[in-house]
Structure 1
Amino acid sequence: MASFLSFVVLAGGLFFLSLHMFAVSAQFYVESSSPAKKIFNVLSSGANPDGKTDNSEAFKKAFYAACQWINLKGQNVVLIPSGNFMVNHVSFVGPCKSPIVFSLQGVLKAPSNPALFFSDTWIGFRYINGLVIEGGGTIDGQGAFAWPYNDCKRNPKCKTLPASLRFDFVNNGKLQNLRSINSKNVHLTLFACHNFDITNVKLTAPNDSPNTDGIKIGASTNIKISHSIIGTGDDCIAMISGSENIDIFDVLCGPGHGISIGSLGNNIEKEFVKGINVRNCTFISTQNGVRIKTRPSSFPSFVSNVSFSGITMKDVNNPLIIDQQYSPNAEWFYQEKLNAGGVMINNVKFEDIRGTSTSEIAIKLHCSAEFPCQNVKLGNINLAYTGSTRNIKQTTSSCVNVKGQPFGRIQPPGCL
């Protein structure tokens, strides 16, 4: 394909731009909105916003053009303008020669054809430093077409449905001003990411949609999640092994299963979660509030330095939980002596938590007999009962194999 020259009228003047050819063998119109910004519009690479055409290749062409453009002064912007863009499974892989911004202003729609459902990722980003995703647009996982195919509770060999957005080995990233609806599986997954900021996002799926976690974090450090609304059919935020230095604040969670650490202890390799700070968050009509969950008869692992503070609960079924008998395919159950578990839980604080519980036991701290929970602190708790059982007047607490101390006022009365 022959190279060509494009003339663009800007600010009343005619500027001459040289367009580069890349290995993807396509032409790109590069719009310059400022000296520090190069814009790569997916429409110029052949994208069609009709909601039906598969735009995966057009999106990849725009990305790789931006990824290879050397911008010494600023960022390269992949622009997805207004319109409905259908995209099949697609991955954007670096490293890139300049920082990349995805400006999503339109709507991205996932496939509705069952033959295209099964994969671990719908839209993926890998090995990119300095990635920003913004623009106020929406990604629609069209999960209602796929949820009937989720049979994992009864089929151990079930096929994987895709996460809507997956970030692997993305450093110094930012995701802001974005909406994700009806994911087939998890909305956002972070793996091996470092220094990543998620703010002002809205993630929603029906309460009965299976495994539609809002954000799942693993093997990642220095992650911040703030000023966001998450309402799904599973955990609003889940932190699994390798999550370290995670700061979560000003998040509205509901419906869903709350904000969880774990589950841990299911793998032979030693797992860990540490340095977790959940503060100034609100839970509305969730199955759980703040939770640490580990598997029974666990392999050696640990959870340490966790703080839940400034939390508001409104009609939450299980506001405060440490559950070392967690099984994803069975109901939580109580027993005087728990099975042996190898996950050590140390230095956990629940502080300034108030609101209402729909269950009688508002505080459940059930730890392993072999490795009791250490240095657990409960303080300034006020959780009233709003369930439907008439003879219950107030909430209670239940602690098993927990060592720690209470402080301040606690309602229900503490069990430490």
Structure 2
Amino acid sequence: MVLLSCCPVITILLAFFYQPLATAVTYNVVNLGAKPDGKTDSTKSFLSAWDAACASANPTTIYVPPGRYLLHKAKFYGEQCKNTAITIRIDGTLVAPSDYRAIGNGGSWLIFEKVSGVSIFGGTLDGQGTVRCFHIAIDGCHNVKVQGVMVSASGNSPNTDGIHIQLSSGVTISNSRIATGDDCVSIGPGSTNLWIENVACGPGHGISIGSLGWELQEPGVQNVTVKTVTFTGTQNGVRIKTWGRPSNGFVRGIVFQNLFMVNVQNPIIIDQNYCPHNNNCPGQNSGVIISDVTYQDIHGTSATAVAVKFDCSKKYGCKGIRLEDVNLTFGDQPAEASCVNVGGSTSGSVEPTKAEAEGTSLKRNIVRSSEPHGLQKFEKWYSMLERCFLRSSGRC
């Protein structure tokens, strides 16, 4: 398991894929001069191991034995790397400088750039409390697997996203625990074919697609699955967030499935009027088109009365929004929903049972619920939404 303790960025620019079996080579960083005392700078030893691995024609392992290894800013560059089967296996702890200024203006601690066929397993990455940056950034990568990662930062630390993904495809995040002061996972423009499963999130701002739509010409986000995630005490559960300004971006083919909320402020939210401090966007409509988003098998408790909030673009609205077997409560009562400019369908047993809606349309699907009174719950939910969708505004 990889533990990241608050925040020098690990920028991963690499592609993972399996290689045929061949004679393996191992480089032990201690044999190359690294000191496991947590005080001696071992950066050169790690880079020497990397250079040797890159030059090898056979699958290679860089091994980090138990101990604490101080690393300053290190860039593992792969454009000239001949080896496409490198494994970095960490049984020790990599320690960042306690003063973030030692990392430099780039804000990155360990950088893997233009690398193919690299796998990283195990160990602890200790940022020593340095803040101001994302923990892990995956930028311009393809077929990346992140497994067994633990990210830890104060819930009050701003801009400390656990894992940020952008301009990448085929990224899988699984079996991880993330506690931050910002998004547990944030998904930026140009992200496609993502799979996020078996993650514990909290504290933090939940899992967010966005913010999107800052640029007029911006690649979209599509084919994202978020499955089997528990959110505990987070600001949001699953969120789609776009700037209230013109853009040709899009979000489509999104599935949120089998999620559990524990005292979450906004369990389900689409916010297409994001405009902090009302700068550069007040009064404008988001140009990001949101369609084909499914919320399925989502349960738990909301910390606020409105558990589902769809605030979609006045110009384009949200289309193809599907809710199936959603059951969210506030205190001992079903929570409420607020819907603006959204169209879609519901099925199964769906709570909240109250809604406020504007410019919205909904289709009713066949209800199949094993829960007692599930049909009545659904009929109540649907009738509330149906009345609201015919009104311009107001709480039902």
The reply to whether TM is greater than 0.5 is yes
Q: Distance between the aligned counterparts of 1:199 and 1:384, measured in 2?
A: 32
- How far off is 1:356 after superposition? 0.3
* 1:166-221 C-alpha deviation (Å, 9 max, x unpaired): xxxxxxxxxxxxxxxxxxx2111111111111122211111112211111111111
Structure 1 residues 97, 361: CA separation in 2 closer, same or farther (over 3 Å shift)?
same
CA separation in 2, counterparts of 1:57 and 1:338?
Answer: 53
Q: Cα deviation per residue 1:117-174 (whole Å; 9 max; x = unaligned)?
A: 432310011122110111x31001123xx44xxxxxxxxxxxxx5xxxxxxxxxxxxx
Residue 36 of structure 1 corresponds to 23
The percent identity for this pair of structures is: 40
Mapped to 1, the partners of 2:235 and 2:217 lie a distance apart of 30
- Residue 114 of structure 1 deviates from its aligned partner by 4.6
Question: 2:145, 2:171 within 8 Å by CA — same for their partners in 1?
Answer: yes
- Tell me which of 195, 198, 203 is aligned to 1:255: 203
Q: Does 1:402 align with 2:342?
A: yes
The aligned counterpart of 1:57 is: 44
Determine which of 249, 259, 273 is the counterpart of 1:325: 273
C-alpha distance in 2 between matches for 1:194 and 1:35: 24
Amino acid at match of 1:353: I
How far does the alpha carbon of each residue in 1:307-353 deviate from its partner, in whole angstroms, 9 at most, with x for none?
A: 111111111110000001123568xxxxxx97411111011111111
2:123 paired residue number = 137
Deviation at 1:271, TM superposition (A): 2.7
State which of 200, 215, 226 in structure 1 corresponds to 2:174. Answer: 226
Alpha-carbon distance in structure 2 between the residues aligned to 1:91 and 1:402: 46
Residue 368 (str. 1) matches residue 316 (str. 2): no
1:268 Cα offset (Å): 3.0
Pair 1:322–1:114, CA change in 2 (3 A): closer
Supply the distance in 2 between the matched residues of 1:128 and 1:142 (Cα, whole angstroms).
27
Query: Which amino acid in 2 is paired with 1:201?
Result: V
* Residue of structure 2 in register with 1:109 after alignment: 95
Q: Is the 8 A contact 1:338 1:369 kept in 2?
A: no
Q: Distance in 1 between matches of 2:52 and 2:197?
A: 37
CA distance in 2, matches of 1:357, 1:347: 24
Query: Does the aligned pair in 2 maintain the 1:264–1:271 contact within 8 Å?
Result: no
Change in CA separation of 1:232 and 1:194 when aligned onto 2, cut-off 3 Å: same
Tell me which residue corresponds to 2:352: 412
> Residue 101 of structure 2 aligns to which amino acid in structure 1?
A
The correspondence for 1:97, drawn from 82, 85, 94, is 82
1:191 paired residue number: 139
Which structure 2 residue ranges, 5 or more long, are not aligned?
Answer: 1-20, 354-380, 390-396
Give the whole-Å Cα distance in 2 for the aligned partners of 1:235 and 1:364. Answer: 18
SS at match of 2:53: helix
CA distance in structure 2 between the partners assigned to 1:42 and 1:114 by the alignment = 24
Conserved 8 A contact 1:339-1:368: no
**Contact 1:338–1:367 (CA<8 Å) still a contact in 2?**
no
CA contact (8 A) 2:273 2:285 kept: no
Give the alignment's TM-score, normalised by structure 2: 0.79
Separation in 2, partners of 1:408, 1:329: 40
Residue type of the partner of 1:373?
Answer: C
Instruction: Pick which of 284-293 and 338-347 moved more.
Output: 338-347
Q: 2:285 aligns with which of 322, 325, 340?
A: 340
Question: 1:126: which partner in 2?
Answer: 113
Aligned counterpart, 1:23 = none
2:70 equivalent in structure 1: 86
Paired with 1:212 and 1:395, the residues of 2 have a C-alpha distance of: 30
Which residue does the alignment assign to 2:4?
none
Amino acid at match of 2:352: P
Which one scores higher on RCO, CA 8 angstroms, separation ≥ 6?
Answer: 2
Q: CA deviation at 1:263?
A: 0.5
- State the SS of the aligned residue for 2:30: helix
RMSD: 1.9
Match for residue 352 of structure 1 among 291, 297, 304: 297
Structure 2 counterpart SS, 1:45: coil
1:4-46 CA deviation, whole Å, 9 max, x = no partner? xxxxxxxxxxxxxxxxxxxxxxxxxxxxxx9732111111222
TM-score (norm 1): 0.76
1:377 is aligned, of 299, 319, 322, to 322
Q: CA deviation at 1:246?
A: 0.5
Query: Any conservation in 2 of the 1:338–1:368 contact (CA below 8 Å)?
Result: no
Count of paired positions = 330
Look up the match of 1:165.
none
Distance in 2 of aligned mates of 1:97 and 1:296: 46
For residues 224-277 of structure 1, the C-alpha deviation after alignment (integer angstroms, 9 at most, x for no partner) is 111111111111111100110111111111111101101001013223100011
Check 1:354–1:338 CA distance in 2 against 1; reply closer, same or farther (3 A cut).
farther
1:94 is matched by which residue type in structure 2? Answer: G
Change in Cα spacing, 1:210 to 1:320, as seen in structure 2 (3 Å) is same
Deviation at 1:393, TM superposition (A): 4.3
